[in-house]
Amino acid sequence: MKILLTGARGFVGSRIADAMDVVAAPSLRAMTDEDIRRLVGETGPDVIIHTAAVSDIGDCARDPEGSFRANVEIPLALVRTGVKAVLFSTDQVYSGRTDEGPYAEDVTAPANLYAEHKLEMERRALETNPDTVLLRAAWMYDMPKYGVRNRSNFLVNMLRERELAFSSTQYRGLSYVREVAGHMQKAAELPGGVYNYGSANSLTMLETARWLAEELRLDIRLRDAGPRHNLWMDGAKLRAYGIVFRDTVGGLRQCIEDYALNLHAL
């Protein structure tokens, strides 16, 4: 299967490029829809995995037009080529939900522009080609990667800071990006539709941080950030297709093992 990967130098894309054989697309930032159509035509992929995006909530709020271009128009240009596309979306589409969860795919409530644009992308992509796969990813983490711009994530923040605050009421899944990348072959074979794509978590964010701090014996003060609504996803639909994520602590354990992060265990 020939896979065209966008965002191959980004946080998620660079790990996908490590995990599977792909053709890395050049940057799409300055491309017109016609350029994109030509790129796909010349490459001739069986599947497009699209990770390029403006993925920072604040950046999207500051530049709504840039967000719309990157997060709605560019993915739609890829979908319109007729090639099966796997597009990354976000758990932020649930950010305005106030019920307990975990949230299944059917009811969304985007509470920021980034999530609104991702949701519009999902809807229009499926209207254009019902075979499109939309993966709603949770907040992902990894250690920094050589040659790739580091982005702030839960693990790196925990290792870097001396004091952090997390909510003692918020349940939120965190995913190990190497596991996200490892499931991509199967994800590319999913039938068209929207899927929650990430780890579950039976701990609150504060409990998760405390678990990690204790596991790695980190010198960090953890405070309660106060009440936050949940942001956890129900992965039942994905599991029915044989894609099973470790839970959040399981993913963190795997990452700790992969990088031999537990220096006290040496």
Ligand X SMILES: NC(=O)c1ccc[n+]([C@@H]2O[C@H](COP(=O)([O-])OP(=O)(O)OC[C@H]3O[C@@H](n4cnc5c(N)ncnc54)[C@H](OP(=O)(O)O)[C@@H]3O)[C@@H](O)[C@H]2O)c1
The number of residues that bind ligand X (CB under 6 A) is 23
- Does 205 help bind ligand X (rule: CB under 6 A)? no
Residue type, 1: M
Smallest gap, in angstroms, from Cβ of residue 219 to ligand X? 25
Binding mask 125-144 for ligand X (x = CB under 6 A): ------------x-xx----
Q: Give all strands (DSSP E) within the chain, no chain letters.
A: 3-6, 23-24, 47-50, 84-90, 133-137, 139-141, 163-166, 174-176, 193-197, 221-224
Q: Counting contacts by CB under 6 A, is residue 7 touching ligand X? A: yes
User: Would you say 117 or 237 has its CB closer to ligand X?
Assistant: 117
* Residues 50-89 within binding reach of ligand X (CB under 6 A): 51-55, 66, 70, 74, 88
Sign for the pseudo-dihedral over CA of 91, 77, 178, 150: negative
Q: Does 27 bind ligand X (CB under 6 A)?
A: yes
Our finding on whether 12 is near ligand X (CB under 6 A) is yes
137 phi and psi angles, rounded to 5 deg:
-90, 150
Tell me how crowded residue 226 is: count the other CB atoms within 10 A of its CB. 11
Burial tier of 241 (Cβ tally within 10 Å: 0-12, 13-18, 19+): middle
Binding of residue 232 to ligand X (CB under 6 A): no
Binding site for ligand X (CB under 6 A): 7, 9-13, 27-29, 51-55, 66, 70, 74, 88, 90, 137, 139-140, 151
